[in-house]
Amino acid sequence: MRRHPKDSAESGRRITRRGLIMGGAQLAFMGVLGLRMRYMQVEQADQFRVLAEENRISIRLIAPARGQIFDRNGAVIAENQPSYRIIMVREDAGDIDLVMRRLAALIDLSEADQERALKEMRDSRGDTQVTVADRVSWDDISKVAINAPALPGVTPEVGLSRAYPTGPDFAHVVGYVGPISDFDLQKMENPDHLLRIPRFQIGKVGVETRHEEALRGKAGTKRVEVNAAGRVMRELDRQEGKAGANIQLTVDNALQAYTQARLAGESAAAVVMDCETGDLLAIASAPSFDPNLFVRGISVPDYAALTENKYRPLANKSVQGLYPPGSTYKMVTLLAALDAGVISPEETVWCPGHMEISGRRFHCWKRVGHGHMNLETALRESCDVYFYDLAVKVGIDAMSAMAEKLGIGVRFDLPMSAVARGRAPTRDWKRESFGQAWVVGDTVNASIGQGFVLTSPLHLAVMTARLAVGRKVEPRLIRSIDGVEQVPAPVESLGFNENHLRAIRKAMYEVTNNRRGTAYGSRIITDGYRMAGKTGTSQVRNITAAERARGVVRNEDLPWERRDHALFVNYAPYDNPRIAVSVVVEHGGGGSAVAAPIARDITLQALYQGDPPLEAYPEADRARVQALQERLRRERPVVTTPVQDRA
């Protein structure tokens, strides 16, 4: 049927409108698309370029070199050594189990190491570098490099590992580093990104942990190009971090080595302190251990050997060990009594071998007694009854106050682990600790360094130095940090009456230089180097009345752990104090027979800054000392450097 012309015209108009609408819509769409493309290609070009770069560029942390640790003369005691290692990045590796199996087929990789590395990768961020094997050989590095296409995400690297060239000598002072643990991270509020790297090494004990932040330094970064398989193609650029600060200690390497060697075979500790500056020249604990064993994680058998040793090599006895000071404490009692005015140096006390106090008999070490004793003779021959009498007169309050003034019962701020406070007991302390009142017998026991009194070898060295110079000398271990000298605070006077100090020093001189002195056999012969000292023997068991009646069992006849501790303190030279020394030998027996010879030998070594001439020793000792010097030189050679004048 033929359409009317009007209908045809209307239909044409409709088609035209639809075409225009569709065309306009298409143009609008194309315009929007064009604008979007322009926005993405021009205005967001940098952002998408970065995203594209991230598909082939990886940014990685560069661990800084850890600061080194030196002795007072510049000898290295903690350093960094190059170490080959193999790392893996999970997101670059893909199938980490497959890659690990391939790697284990190439190099010697234990099941435990494989499981440890896989766990660390799964627990860490995908871009974290995990050390799979450390301190590997050059052959292993070569094998990995040659087979790199089959090992995506695996990279051989040259890193730095901590090493302690002096071995056990500084183990208790410097400490050691070890892999960071979850426990370590939990103790930190805002851990450094470096610490998130599995098995990153941090300080665990000693100076290494107390100065961790300074020694660690700041991380750097590097950009590396990787291919689709995750293999590193090239390094694009790097920004070096900041190496850790170097730390210089006050300790003398040669003297420390000698002291450690001289204590060999004993469970013992010794401290050598500069009387003027407080510098710790040697601070040794024996037996020691090799800190290098801990750097990569100590084995179970090695650790068991240390923990099961009855001499406790892991314990730092020089600052952590607490012992009854025995007769080395008698100078505290003397000075308290003189300061309180309850006795004069010439006043005498009768010693019949015991003293009755509150219905209890307190014995002197000399069963038949010493007779009439004054200050000098009582200290020289270590008469206990004389000090019992002083204790009753002066009281515990004055004695403990004097002890604290001399450094006992004080926790010194040293960068070492578990520095003990010690104890100068008081009435309040006993009431709070035991719910009991203080009795006069407690005071009597304290007067000779027994009962509740506890000191470390560090406390005894500080006490001796303060008696020698009459000033508040503080122990110091850090000499400089990154070349900046750590200037000690001015040493103030303790306000003692100089006449009282002079009387005590003269009595200490008699201990080592008078034929009746308890340490006469360990004297120094050379004029200008003679020392003043005090022996000590502290009981670790109670002696019953029945045992006294039938005869006290000799120390050498007792089991080792029930024998008395042997102690000795001294300073030298007597007329110009330069060093103070303390020695404690656990269960060593008598202080005069065991501790005094060790302290004398260490003192001479410090004064002469090396092996002293045999003429400095009593003639009866020279053959033994010569043999000892030759043996130590043969067994323990040390690097010697010029020692600064300490006079």
Which residues does residue 373 pair with via DSSP β-bridges, in sequence order?
Answer: 349
Comparing CA positions, the residue from 444, 447, 442 lying closest to residue 331 is 447
Q: The tokens of 314 are what? A: 């892991």
User: What is residue 386's three-state secondary structure?
Assistant: helix
Strand 371-373 and strand 349-351: the pairing is antiparallel
Question: For residue 29, what is the enclosing H or E element?
Answer: helix 5-38
Comparing CA positions, the residue from 510, 565, 511 lying closest to residue 536 is 565
Q: Are 108 and 141 in contact (CB under 8 A)?
A: no
| Catalytic machinery residues | 327
Contacts of 180 (CB under 8 A, 6+ apart): 195, 198, 199, 200, 201, 202
Tell me the C-alpha distance between 251 and 579, whole Å. 13
To which residue do tokens 């180097």 refer? 529
Q: Are 161 and 135 in contact (CB under 8 A)?
A: yes
Comparing CA positions, the residue from 367, 391, 506 lying closest to residue 450 is 391
Angle at the Cα of 430 (from 426 to 431), degrees rounded to 5? Answer: 115
Q: The tokens of 631 are what? A: 């043996």
**Angle formed by the axes of helices 498-513 and 330-340, to 10°?**
150
Q: Are 58 and 226 in contact (CB under 8 A)?
A: yes
Contacts of 203 (CB under 8 A, 6+ apart): 175, 176, 177, 209, 210, 211, 212, 215
367, 531, 598 from 525: Cα distances, Å: 31, 9, 16
Tell me the C-alpha distance between 191 and 610, whole Å. 45
Alpha-carbon torsion, ordered 583, 589, 592, 594, to 10 deg: -60
Comparing CA positions, the residue from 148, 199, 154 lying closest to residue 177 is 199
Comparing CA positions, the residue from 55, 14, 571 lying closest to residue 276 is 571
To which residue do tokens 């560029």 refer? 57
Which residues does residue 224 pair with via DSSP β-bridges, in sequence order?
Answer: 58, 235
User: How are the residues of the chain apportioned to helix, strand and coil, as percentages rounded to the nearest 5?
Assistant: 45, 20, 35
